Amino acid sequence: MDAYPEAKLIMTSRDEQAWFESMKATIWHATQVSPLRDVIYQHVWGGDHDQFGLARFREHNAKVRDLAKRRNRTVLEYEVRQGWGPLCEFLGKEDPESEFPRADDWAGYKKEVLARNAAREGDEK
């Protein structure tokens, strides 16, 4: 916010429980196979994703709102399921003629992470 004071602020969000499950299936999964797993797990999740994950989600969103308010900035709280409308309106742009992209390929993501880590382990041998 300080680096780009004229930039529009968009905070993507979603249902808390859906976010939590998605994090467990993707980002949390990636940290489990990362060499920095323990550092990430402790720093981001306080050492316990199940216990602190939702609290961290809420804290982050509250912090963004608070910082924006203190800097007299407007934040669009946007859920991807809303499509182009609110996003384009906030940005002062026309809705594109194309459909809003709706891809959530976490299974492909997991395969990519596992393949990359397997290759790295093979390089280390």
Q: What is the CATH number of the domain that holds 77?
A: 3.40.50.300
Domain residues for the domain of 97 are: 9-124
Is 115 a domain residue? yes
Between CA 74 and CA 20 the distance in angstroms is 26
Strand residues in the chain grouped as ranges (E): 9-13, 75-79
Is 18 a domain residue? yes
Tally the domains of the chain: 1
Is 87 a domain residue? yes
Is 98 a domain residue? yes
Look at residue 46 and give its three-state secondary structure: coil
Summarised one tens digit per residue, pLDDT across range 84-119 is 999 999 999 999 999 988 776 666 777 777 787 778
pTM above 0.75, yes or no: no
Average pLDDT over every residue of 39-49: 77
